[in-house]
Each structure stands twice: as structure tokens, then as C-alpha cells.
Amino acid sequence: MVRQPAASARGLTTTVPREYVHRAAVSEVLLTNWKTDKSDCFLVNAQWPRGHALFAPTADHQDPLLLVESVRQVGALLAHTEYDVPFGHQFLMWNMSFSALPEALSVGPTPTEVELRTTCHDIVRRGKQLMSMAYHVSVERDGLPLAVAEARFSCTSPAVYRRLRGERPTTTALALPVGIAPESVGRPGSRDVVLAATGAGTPLRWQLRVDTSHPIFFDHPVDHVPGMVLIESARQAAYAATGLTDALPVQLDSTFTRYAELDAPCWIEAEPGRPDAAGIIPVRITGTQRDETVFTATVGLRPLV
């Protein structure tokens, strides 16, 4: 079992090794430390920058997708360090959800320090090898609640993954379609737009733009569309469907049912709902490829003004 870096024990702040969280760029590692609380319970620390290159603040609030990425990294970190999953195993996220308090996401004069109190459950092993698990995360900032999150993933050995997937390319031969207007999805530039227009008659349906050269969405080569790209497409579709590009996505409930492949178009559809009593507007998102559902998500938008 691997323990936290010695530097953290001395009180210094650093990030965890990038290999633990499946990131090639050290700059994309959000976790800074972890320790065991009790059996299957862990305290994980993270730091969110005030100006992330992709997940930038909205109306002086941190982007909740920093929370999503932190929760994703927690699962990989604990799998490797506490549940002895070897490097090289492939991880597949099945579910990701969260609910956040908008006021707790405000940007301060320094990077946002958060603690992710994580409880792992529904742990499935084959012999000593971890096959899948779920985990619940209570996120705190300065000792106060910020969000709760749930996630579930499975992991597969390289040999089994090759038998399941074969040798698939890590780039796409499909032409990158022109994205919709960046301002319609809350983006300052076209590089980070993941939706493309599909023509007249389909106002709430877009083709997923898969740019495998994107330095953050595709931090390292993979043979499918990463889950974070699909979640970003859900957020952008919610913005485009409602026009509320300055709203904060404070809720997410997503399920991934199959791999989104790189060699076929993936279609993203949105269906806005009515605001609830708290003013949160739900937007139902469905991603399909070759007429099969790839993922579904409900994004809850909270207008800030």
C-alpha cells in the first residue's frame, strides 16, 4: 500500500504524483494530499486555481467542473494507492453526480482549498484485484459544506482491455466540424467549444466536436472520448438550450452506458425543464452514437443574477 508523499507529512504543499490521477500534465493535477481516516474512508485535499486554462471562473464563482475533475481524480488516486490497482489498468466511469452550494464556490483572493471526505463502498474484487467500486464524497471548504458527490467506476487489466477493445486508434480521421458560437456556450474562444451545428430543423441537437489535439480534454492519448469531454458537452448543451451562459451548473447526474468512439459522429441532444422551487433549471442531455445511447445527464443550472 502506498502512502502519501513524505513532503506532505512535513507540512509542505505539493500535488500528488500525476500517474496516480491519470494525468500527463502536472498542471492538471488538482489533488495535493490524502490520508486514511478509517476503513474505506479517506481525507483527500485539493486546490483549485483562480484561473484554470479551461475551467475558468464564472461571475466570480469557481467552475463546478473543477469539482467533477477532483472527484474523478480521487477515484483513481485511491484505487492505486489504497486498493493496489497497478498502473496500466484501464478505468471506466459509469456514474458521476454532484450537488453544490453556489455561495461556497465564490472565488477568493487565493486558490480554493477543499477537503474531499471520501467513503468507498460497493467494492467488488476478483481475488485480490479490485474490479469496481463506488464512492461518496462530502466536499468542504474552510470546514463548511461545499458539495456532495457520488461516482462509480470499474477497472480492467491491460490484457483484458485489449481483448475487449482490440487495437483502436487514439486519433480520429473525421474532419473537425465548425463549432457553434463560443458565446452561446459560455466559452471565450472556439478551441474549447465541443458542439457543432447540425443544420436547420434541429435547434437542440449538435454533433460532438472531438479534437484529440486539445491539450486538456485529451491530456494524453486514449482510444475513446473521455468522460470529462462528455460532461463538458452536457454543460455546453445546457447553456445553448437555455441561453443562460452566465448560470452556474450546480447539479449533475450523469450515467455512461458505453464507450464514445472516435471513429463515428456522436450526437448531443438537450431538453430543458421547468425551474424547481430553488430556481434551478434542469436540462436533460442525451448522447447517442450509431443510434445507441452513449450517456445521459441532467444538468441543473442556477442563474446567478
- The confidence score (pLDDT) of residue 81 equals 97
H or E element, residue 196: strand 195-197
Q: How confident is the model at residue 7 (pLDDT cuts 50, 70, 90)?
A: very low
Give the rounded percent of residues in the chain with a pLDDT score beyond 70. Answer: 95
Range with the poorest average pLDDT among 5-14, 73-82, 200-209, 257-266: 5-14
Residue 253 has pLDDT above 80, yes or no: yes
pLDDT classification of 108: cutoffs 50, 70, 90: very high
- Over residues 170-195, the mean pLDDT reads 94
| pLDDT tens figures, 118-159 | 999 999 999 999 999 999 999 999 999 999 999 999 999 999
Contact 115, 129 (CB under 8 A): no
Between 146 and 167, the higher pLDDT residue: 146
Average pLDDT over residues 63-75: 98
Q: Which of 1-15, 143-157, 163-177, 196-210 has the lowest mean pLDDT?
A: 1-15
Is residue 231 scored above 50 in pLDDT? yes
pLDDT value for 203: 83
> Diameter of the chain by CA atoms?
61
How would residue 12 be classed by pLDDT, with cut points 50, 70 and 90? confident
Q: What is the pLDDT of residue 201?
A: 64
- The answer on pLDDT for 53 being more than 90 is yes
Please give the C-alpha separations between residue 301 and each of 45, 53, 211, 248, in angstroms, as whole numbers.
26, 22, 26, 5
* Mean pLDDT of all residues in 268-275: 98
pLDDT confidence bin for 11, thresholds 50/70/90:
low
- Per-residue confidence at 202, pLDDT binned at 50, 70, 90? confident
Q: How confident is the model at residue 200 (pLDDT cuts 50, 70, 90)?
A: low
Rounded to the nearest integer, the mean pLDDT of the chain is 94
Q: Which residues contact 275 (CB under 8 A, 6 or more apart)?
A: 281
User: d(Cα 12, Cα 25) in Å, to the nearest integer?
Assistant: 21
pLDDT score recorded for residue 181: 96
Q: Is the pLDDT of residue 6 over 60?
A: no
What's the whole-number mean pLDDT along residues 2-20?
Answer: 68
**pLDDT (0 to 100) of residue 173:** 87
Does 1 have pLDDT greater than 70?
Answer: no
